[in-house]
Amino acid sequence: MVEYNSKSWLRLIFRWQGSVYSKLFLKVGISAGLGVVAALLNESISFKLPNSAHALVGVALGLLLVFRTNASYDRWWEGRKLLGAMVNRSRDLTRQFATFLPASSIDDAKTLTRYVTLFYQVSALGLRLDRDLQPLVTKGVLIEAEKAALESVGARGPVVLGWISARLARLASKGELTELRLMGMDANITSLQDSLGACERIARTPLPFAYAQHLKALVTLFVLTAPFVLVDQMKWSTPVAMAALAFALFGIDEIGIEIEDPFGDDANDLPIEKIGDGIIAATGDVLAHAGALER
């Protein structure tokens, strides 16, 4: 995700990274070229289109674009809230491991904490349809035996949560964890499962095809006909007006596309790797300083 200073107007306007400018060049150029064609036709045969129907379509188009942008941003923001919930539950689970388990179970607390970070990492890979686990071995959150166990698994996140639950159940059966504390930990595990399911719902459910198709067709039709509506009043200023109009309408549509899937690797998608590194750092700090390692 691109970080920026919203108070620096000029730097913000002319910043290339994260913008949709590169995707608009061709569309803006074609629209300006149509403006030139409209101006030539208007001078030679006074060809123009009436503006009444075009104005009505413009109102409908504006509403559709607003809805499209809001729907895409809602998906982006909900994704961020869900990842934030994973961060909070990961920290809280680690706190419980560090303080509720006896001193004799320090190794279990370390392994359980690593499983918590592993859950986020394999879930992030799954949201991006990435099956390569080797980077997690390099990070130290996955060992080779676990990598072999997960290679052929589809639902890797839930499987890792199952590992956590199984180890906690074993500790409870040995009397090292009370049922009440086990229930508190299980509530956090369930919350992690729910957050992952909601992220998968966003990632696997795009906006309806018919809506996306109709909006693009309507934007294209509106822009293609606009120069022949404007030319009677704007004359040779029509190409400039068309470039501005295309930049605005196609740009709004491209922004919606850019943020529709918040878990991708585009510049405006959520900083999944940064959040994962934050979980590793935070859980390590909690485990080191919440009391488990000092016992």
C-alpha torsion sign, points 270, 272, 275, 277: negative
Find the domain containing 177 and state its range: 79-205+271-289
Q: Is residue 108 part of a domain?
A: yes
Q: In this structure, are 30 and 126 located in the same domain? A: no
Average pLDDT over residues 133-155: 90
Per-residue pLDDT, averaged over 110-122, amounts to 94
**Maximum distance among all alpha carbons in the chain?**
93
- Pair 136, 217 in one domain: no
Q: Is the domain of 57 the same as that of 200? A: no
Collapsing DSSP to helix, strand or coil, 126 comes out as helix
Reply yes or no on whether the pLDDT at 9 is more than 80: no
Distance CA 87, CA 114 (A): 14
In a domain, 145, yes or no: yes
Strand, coil or helix: 8: coil
141 and 196 co-located in one domain: yes
Q: What is the pLDDT of residue 291?
A: 59
Q: Note whether 227 and 38 are within 8 A (CB).
A: yes
Q: Based on the domain organization, do 113 and 97 belong to the same domain? A: yes
Judge whether 16 lies within some domain: no
Residue 207: both structure tokens together: 């906006």
- In a shared domain, residues 118 and 187: yes
Residue 247, CA atoms < 13 Å, CB-side half-sphere: 12
The confidence score (pLDDT) of residue 139 equals 86
The whole-chain average pLDDT of the chain stands at: 87
Does 9 map to a domain? no
Predicted pLDDT of residue 84: 94
| Judgement on whether residues 190 and 279 belong to the same structural domain of the protein | yes
Q: Based on the fold, state whether residues 84 and 119 are members of the same structural domain.
A: yes
| Same-domain pairing of 118 and 250 | no
User: Could you tell me if 43 and 28 lie in one domain?
Assistant: yes
Residue 292 — pLDDT band, cuts 50, 70, 90?
very low
Domain count, the chain: 2
The two three-digit tokens of residue 135, written as one number? 């980077």
- Asked whether residue 8 is domain-assigned, the answer is no
CB 85 within 8 A of CB 195: yes
| Residue 176 shares a structural domain with residue 231 | no
Give the model's pLDDT for residue 233: 83
Q: Is 294 helix (H, G, I), strand (E, B) or coil?
A: coil
Tell me how far apart the alpha carbons of residues 153 and 119 are, in angstroms, rounded to a whole number.
13
CB atoms within 10 A of CB 26: 11
Mean pLDDT, residues 241-257 taken together? 90
pTM comes to 0.86
Q: For residue 229, what pLDDT is reported? A: 86
Is residue 176 located within the same domain as residue 136?
Answer: yes
